[in-house]
Amino acid sequence: MTAVFNPHNLQVDINALTGRLALKQTETALSKSIRNLSSGIRIHSAKDDPAGFTAATAMQTEITSTNQAVKNAERANSVIATVDNALAHLDSLMNDLRGLVTQAASTGGESPETLASLQLQADAVLSSIDFISAATKFNDQKLLDGSLDFTTFGLDKNAISKLVVNQANFLGRTEKDISVQVFEPPQQAALYYPYGALKSDTTLDIGGTGGYQSFSFDKEATVWDIADAVNRYRDSTGVAAVVRAEAIPGSLILTSNGLDNDIILTASVAGRAAGNAVVRFTAPKDGNDTLSLNFTEGYGNTPCIIEVVLQTDQTGASVTTAAQVADLINTSPLLKDGFGNGRFNAALPEKAAGSGIVQPFNQIAYYGDPKQSNQLQFLAPQNSPKIRFVSEPNSPLSLSEQSVVADDGTVTKDLIVHLETDRNGLVRTTANDLVRFFDYPSDENSQEILKKLGISVSVVDSLNSNLPCAADPPNGAGVLVPTYNGDCPPQDVNAFPDIVFGSYAASDFPTESPPAADNLGAVLIGASDGEGLGITFYSVEYGSQEFVSVLPFPTTDFPLTDNSGIRTDKTYGKDIVAQINGQWANGNGRIASACVSDLDIAVTVNPENYFQTTGFRISGGGTLLQLGQDAVSEQQARIGIPSVHSTALGGTNGYLSQLRTGEPFDLLTDTAQAYQIVMDVTKQIAELRGRLGAFQKNQVETVMNHHLDSIEIESGAKSGIADVDFAAQSSEMARQQVLMQANISVLQMNSQRTQMLLGLLQG
């Protein structure tokens, strides 16, 4: 029998079922509200809010990882703090050791027993340093014994004298390749004095980054004396000096009047013996169809003689070019040694073709002073006249001849050079001006005189006094001075005697006109077996912060030039310019350093072994610190902590262990060097503390603070998703309670109605 749907059907009470369903739903919602309010969490499982559950779960994972990253950073902070504490003790010990070395340096005020006691104390300090190196640990990991330093492979220690790897991230690999490319090497500050002696008593005020010191020298002092004096104060001034001494080949400029006809002749082998040679050009007056060369070998102090016999026309005039003479000297079998090598080299000046005609000569004379940039070399044929420089107010540069009657009645003619002067009588003619005038006479009379006499002139290089210059060099800018008869005292202390021709058979560079002698020819000059040729004043260290200052008095007698040849009394060094792994490095003297996301490195190059590119590998080592929340290489830091054992602390001046008893720099042997080592180590420890402190502050603590901020933000975001809203949930629970009471009341009313129906049926 099928029941018919009826609200008052006694078999199926639809109202009761509806009320019970509503009551159950209200009970479920009320239970959920009670659960959420009692726990404070809105999402307990994925069914509560699938999207919110996924987001909250991901955030909780991030928060958990970040919390662990904070703990890792705190651990790293503790490691570095432990190292810094140990290094602070080392700082204190180094201060004690510095005091001991300074006290031991006062040998005049301490007894031998006291000095021995100071050495024992120094040994105890070194033992304490070694103990700290071995005993400093964190979680049973030694920190300062070198086990946490980086290891390298393929490092060229001749090119790189010191390598400091502060931090290196291998980016998931087992090693890291490093390339160093040097574009400009570091330079010391340097000033050059180009002469081997002083012209007058001189005072030098010399200074560098360490300080200044004044030196006084008489004119008899040698460059060796000056260098020794400067080097005694190198520690206090930061400036040292070295004598520039080297064997130099003899050389000579073979000049002629006119254009494109100069030849530079140089001995192929340096030294006095090889450069002891005399050269002359002869021109047969009856004509000569063949250019040839005669050679007479020298012996002892007697020079060898090179005679070039010029090709001439029927009048005896030369028709030989400079290029032909140079080729003859370079190819003649007479000028070859036993191995077939040329003993002399003949070259044309730069950009010259050698097409000009050369003139005969067999006499030489000099005028002037290279220090005044006005020294001249004259070449002339046999029996050439004496040359005198004169000056009259407001006169142009010109030549004339003056008859001179000797005591025996013989009449000769002197060559008079009228120097150009202004209306006040001041000479305006420079050495360069005279060279140009001899090549390009401005008046017919001077032109005829030079053509007849065949005298030529060239400037002597004031900065390279072993070699005269061939054509209008910048070194002949000095003004010429009138000459005087050798029998008459000069009125001008800067005047020079009249120029008298003769041969000069010595390889020293002449400082005045040579005496008259046999007409052998012109001697090669400047040959040296290694005498002092000048002084280089240089900074002990390298870099743009280093400088050398040399203030001479009188200034005119002590010319100085920098690396570019510019006259100056102060110059600075240069920092290295380099790239490390393709990134421009910071240059500081010899040190090139780079600090990028995956590498913090400092390379100290060896300036004595210049290189353009070198490479090596960081093959391992360092201590790996996980600073990020993800265990990936980008969120890790690998830092190196070097050994602080006494055998590892130090550098170019020596190592700390060498201060122990019996070692080369103990307090009883060399306190000066010991002091330098102590200062180097003190700086080394300070730099290590500074580097670790910077890593601790700028990376560890910064990352840790970032993580804490991230945790706070992420926790807030997660709370917004997963935690209950107490106001909304409380309101919802109150609503559910009202609904439950309503549901119960409705069910009670429905039950009463059903009872009434049953009562009617029973009645």
- Could you give the angle at the alpha carbon of 159 between the alpha carbons of 156 and 163, nearest 5°? 70
Give the model confidence (pLDDT) of 223-261 as tens digits. Answer: 889 999 999 999 889 999 998 877 778 888 898 888 889
Distance of CA 567 to the CA centre of its chain: 22
Determine how β-strand 496-497 pairs with β-strand 483-484.
Answer: parallel
Q: How sure is the predictor about 37, in pLDDT bands with cuts at 50, 70 and 90?
A: low
* 292 vs 273: CA distance, rounded Å: 25
* 355 vs 317: CA distance, rounded Å: 16
The pLDDT, as a whole number, for residue 517 is 45
The pLDDT, as a whole number, for residue 1 is 46
The pLDDT, as a whole number, for residue 707 is 82
State the amino acid at position 248 in one-letter form: I
Residue 186, preceding bond cis, omega within 30 degrees? Answer: no
Q: 110, exposed or middle or buried, with CB in 10 Å at 0-12, 13-18, 19+?
A: middle
- DSSP-derived letter for residue 232 is T
The pLDDT, as a whole number, for residue 643 is 92
- DSSP-derived letter for residue 568 is -
Average pLDDT of the chain? 83
Q: Which residues contact 669 (CB under 8 A, 6 or more apart)?
A: 663
Give the model confidence (pLDDT) of 633-676 as tens digits. Answer: 788 888 889 999 999 998 878 999 999 999 999 988 899 899 99
The pLDDT, as a whole number, for residue 129 is 94
Which range, 27-36, 206-215, 531-540, 702-711, is most confident?
206-215
Q: Mean pLDDT throughout 532-541?
A: 87
Give the model confidence (pLDDT) of 449-489 as tens digits. Answer: 998 999 999 887 644 444 444 444 456 678 898 887 765 55
Find, among 127, 129, 125, 107, the residue nearest to 116 by Cα.
107
Give the model confidence (pLDDT) of 302-315 as tens digits. Answer: 888 999 999 999 98
Find, among 678, 684, 642, the residue nearest to 658 by Cα.
678
758 vs 619, more confident: 619
Does the pLDDT value for residue 607 go beyond 70?
A: yes
Contact criterion met (CB below 8 Å) for 65 and 80: no
Residue with the two structure tokens 């040296």: 528
Give all strands (DSSP E) within 143-217, no chain letters: 150-153, 160-168, 176-184, 190-193, 202-208, 211-217
The pLDDT, as a whole number, for residue 713 is 84
Exposure string for 218-227, b = 16+ CB within 10 A, e = fewer? eeebebebbb
Strand partners, 399: 417
Contact criterion met (CB below 8 Å) for 252 and 468: yes
- Could you give the angle at the alpha carbon of 506 between the alpha carbons of 500 and 508, nearest 5°? 95
Contact criterion met (CB below 8 Å) for 562 and 568: yes
Q: Mean pLDDT throughout 49-56?
A: 73
Give the model confidence (pLDDT) of 556-586 as tens digits. Answer: 778 899 888 888 999 999 999 999 999 999 9
Strand partners, 650: 655
Q: Could you tell me what percent of the chain has a pLDDT over 70?
A: 85
Contact criterion met (CB below 8 Å) for 456 and 438: yes
* 28 vs 574: CA distance, rounded Å: 83
Q: 625, exposed or middle or buried, with CB in 10 Å at 0-12, 13-18, 19+?
A: buried
Give the model confidence (pLDDT) of 487-517 as tens digits. Answer: 555 555 567 788 888 644 333 344 433 443 4
Q: Which residues contact 207 (CB under 8 A, 6 or more apart)?
A: 213, 237, 239, 547, 548, 549
Q: How sure is the predictor about 38, in pLDDT bands with cuts at 50, 70 and 90?
A: low
Residue with the two structure tokens 């991030």: 62
Find, among 130, 173, 166, the residue nearest to 150 by Cα.
166
Residue with the two structure tokens 């025996």: 408
Q: How sure is the predictor about 555, in pLDDT bands with cuts at 50, 70 and 90?
A: confident
Give the model confidence (pLDDT) of 695-732 as tens digits. Answer: 888 888 888 888 888 888 877 776 667 666 667 767 76
Query: 624-629: long-range contacts at Cβ-Cβ below 8 A with a sequence spacing of 24 or more?
Result: 625/72, 625/76, 625/79, 625/700, 626/69, 626/72, 627/69, 627/72, 627/73, 627/76, 627/699, 627/700, 627/703, 628/69, 628/703, 629/62, 629/65, 629/66, 629/68, 629/69, 629/707
Lowest-confidence pick of 311-320, 340-349, 736-745, 750-759: 750-759
The pLDDT, as a whole number, for residue 10 is 53
The pLDDT, as a whole number, for residue 83 is 92
State the amino acid at position 494 in one-letter form: N
525, two tokens: 């000059």
The pLDDT, as a whole number, for residue 5 is 46
Contact criterion met (CB below 8 Å) for 266 and 519: no
User: If you write DSSP's letter for every residue of 159-174 in order, what string do you get?
Assistant: TEEEEEEEEE--TTSS
82 vs 244, more confident: 82
Radius of gyration of the chain (CA): 48
Q: 456, exposed or middle or buried, with CB in 10 Å at 0-12, 13-18, 19+?
A: buried
368: left (phi over 0), alpha (psi -120 to 50) or beta: left
State the amino acid at position 487 in one-letter form: D
The pLDDT, as a whole number, for residue 742 is 74
Q: 406, exposed or middle or buried, with CB in 10 Å at 0-12, 13-18, 19+?
A: exposed
Q: How sure is the predictor about 133, in pLDDT bands with cuts at 50, 70 and 90?
A: very high
The pLDDT, as a whole number, for residue 273 is 83
Q: 314, exposed or middle or buried, with CB in 10 Å at 0-12, 13-18, 19+?
A: exposed
385, two tokens: 């006249």
Strand partners, 532: 245
95, two tokens: 């201060």
* 567 vs 155: CA distance, rounded Å: 41
Exposure string for 275-295, b = 16+ CB within 10 A, e = fewer? bbbbbbbbbeeeebeebebee
The pLDDT, as a whole number, for residue 95 is 94
- CA distances to 22, 500, 595, 752, 760 from 10, rounded to whole Å, are 20, 158, 90, 13, 13
Contact criterion met (CB below 8 Å) for 419 and 392: no
Give the model confidence (pLDDT) of 173-230 as tens digits. Answer: 888 999 999 999 999 999 999 887 887 889 999 999 999 999 999 988 888 899 999 9
424 vs 759, more confident: 424
Does the pLDDT value for residue 166 go beyond 50?
A: yes
